[in-house]
Amino acid sequence: MTSHTKPWKEKQLTELKQLASSYPVVAVADVNMYPAALFQQVRKKLKKNSVVKVSKTKIIKKALSEVKETNVLVDEAKENCALIFTEMNPFELYAFLKKNKGKIAAKTGAIAEEDISIAAGDTGIPPGPALSDLKSAGLKVAVQGPTISIMEDKVVTKAGEPVSEAVAGTLSKLNIKPFKVDLKIISVLEQGQVYKADVLDIDTDQVFGDFVNAHKKAFNLAVNAAILTSETTELLVTKAFNDAKAVALEANILTSATVGSLLAKANAQASVLKPLIKDAPKEEPKEEAKEESKEETSEPEAKETPKEEPAEKKADEKPAEEKKEDNS
């Protein structure tokens, strides 16, 4: 047992004042009804970047009041409190303590935060008075060999209900610790700002998700509004290039960026047309064209040359006028 002599108190006061001046963050925690074994576990986990000190409340209040930076925490120090001097930020410290909860046994009258159930199986308890105790908790039990066995799973206390005396005794016999507790933070001081527990109690996963969602919305807005930033510039330039290329392809404008696509497009169109041209039926020439071609190819027919009449006959024939004159 620690002897609270004057030298001890003076040593405690000096040590607390030095720690309060050395660390950027000072937290006040409630250790009332907090198991000593769990407290030592938390202290061990915080050892790397924090110091956890427990002392008399009067000494803690005096130490906080005599350090200018921490005098705002004097009223936060209650009975059975501890001081945590750390380099962690307030939210990080609160989340760490909340995550590192310890299990404790159920006490009669304690309100269950969630359903408390007991699974079926061998209890390892020999038959005797324990048999009736287990039955009084509502369990279906039977003696199997040298021990008692629970025959089926059973919810012995529903969430929001108080733990009965029979259930508390049964849970203790079975070494089941259904309640989880953490070292509760009262207030945390950082750079003159005091953070209460309700402010620090946040869901880090939800907050992270909210930030991610907000970033996505801001990014989409910037892209749609064509606002150039370090994150949107590359996407906007790429989008502008693709839009310009699409217009050039639609208008068949040859550039270094479109020539390949246009040639491929032309080749594809030609490939579609090629079989259509190859399989098209040949048109027969018109009749006139056939006749002309026949005339050109056939040999010309021999024309009849007029026969010459004898010269005597020609001489006898005179013009009609001359014959009329002779008759006259």
Q: Which pLDDT band, with edges at 50, 70 and 90, does 2 fall under?
A: low
Residue 131's pLDDT is 87
- Residue 328 has a pLDDT of 41
Integer Cα distance of 20 and 28 in angstroms:
12
Of residues 257 and 84, the one with the higher pLDDT is 84
Mean pLDDT of 151-177: 91
pLDDT, one tens digit per residue, over 47-102 is: 888 999 999 999 999 999 999 889 999 999 988 899 999 999 999 999 999 888 88
Helix (H, G, I), strand (E, B) or coil at 309: coil
Provide the pLDDT confidence category of residue 315 given band limits of 50, 70 and 90: very low
Q: ∠ CA 36-58-183 to the nearest 5 degrees?
A: 30
The single residue listed with the structure tokens 């609160």 is 94
What is the per-residue pLDDT across 276-303, written as a single tens digit (0 to 9) for each?
776 656 555 555 555 555 555 554 544 4
The CA-based angle 322-327-328, given to 5 degrees, is: 100
Residues of the chain with CATH 3.30.70.1730: 6-101+182-201
* Predicted local confidence at residue 323, as pLDDT: 47
pLDDT band at 324 (very low <50, low <70, confident <90, very high): very low
C-alpha 141: how far from chain center: 48
Instruction: Indicate where the chain has its CATH 3.90.105.20 domain(s).
Output: 116-179
What is the pLDDT confidence band of residue 20, given thresholds at 50, 70 and 90?
very high
Instruction: Identify the residue with better confidence: 293 or 209.
Output: 209
CA nearest to 177, candidates 283, 272, 105, 233 = 105
**CATH code of the domain made up of 6-101+182-201:** 3.30.70.1730
In the structure, what pLDDT confidence band is assigned to residue 273 with cuts at 50, 70 and 90? confident
Q: CB–CB of 49/172 below 8 Å? A: no
Residue 261 has pLDDT above 60, yes or no: yes
For the segment(s) 116-179, the CATH number from 3.90.105.20, 3.40.630.10, 3.40.50.2000, 3.40.350.10 is: 3.90.105.20
Higher pLDDT, residue 306 or 249: 249
> Can you list the positions of beta strands (E) in 19-133?
25-30, 50-54, 81-86, 102-104, 116-118, 121-122
SS3 42: helix
How far is residue 320 from each of residues 47, 275, 281, 327, 328, measured CA to CA in Å? 159, 80, 70, 11, 13
More confident position, 320 or 233: 233
Query: What pLDDT does 188 receive?
Result: 95
Q: Does pLDDT of 307 surpass 70?
A: no
In this prediction, residue 312 carries a pLDDT of 47
Q: What is the pTM of this model?
A: 0.58
Tell me the mean pLDDT in the region 22-42: 90
Separation CA 254–CA 214 (nearest Å): 43
**CA-angle at 255, arms to 250 and 260, nearest 5°:** 75
pLDDT value, residue 164: 92
pLDDT tier at 325 (50, 70, 90 boundaries)? very low
Nearest to 77 by CA among 101, 100, 98, 53: 53
pLDDT of the residue at 115 = 92
pLDDT bin (cut points 50, 70, 90) of residue 274 is: confident
